């Protein structure tokens, strides 16, 4: 596998976040979200996220219409 300093830093950060969350995906996502909010405040940024398709295990959520193209 090819690697460089940036990828190594990314992998270290992911490992640290996984350890902090006790390998729980929900806690991992909460920690990442908190970090993103801190970065937004510190640098005056606002990140926008595109909504994905609903999970197959969540039938109560309506599927997005592709009639007007993808949301951005």
Q: Is the separation of the CB atoms in 20 and 31 below 8 Å?
A: yes
Residues in the chain: 72
Express each pLDDT in 18-47 by its tens digit.
999 887 999 999 999 999 999 999 999 999
Q: H-type helices in the chain, by residue range?
A: 5-20, 25-43
Express each pLDDT in 45-56 by its tens digit.
999 888 887 766
Using 50, 70 and 90 to split pLDDT, how confident is the model at 70?
A: low
pLDDT at 64: 53
pLDDT at 2: 84
Q: State how far the Cα of 12 lies from the Cα of 5, in Å rounded to an integer.
A: 10
pLDDT at 12: 95
């Amino acid at each position: 596998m090819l690697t460089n300093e940036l990828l190594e830093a990314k992998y270290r950060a992911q490992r640290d976040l996984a350890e902090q969350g006790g390998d729980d995906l929900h806690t991992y996502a909460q920690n990442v979200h908190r970090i993103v909010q801190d970065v937004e405040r510190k640098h005056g940024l606002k990140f926008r996220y595109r909504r994905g398709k609903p999970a197959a295990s969540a039938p109560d959520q309506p599927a997005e219409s592709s009639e007007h193209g993808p949301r951005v």
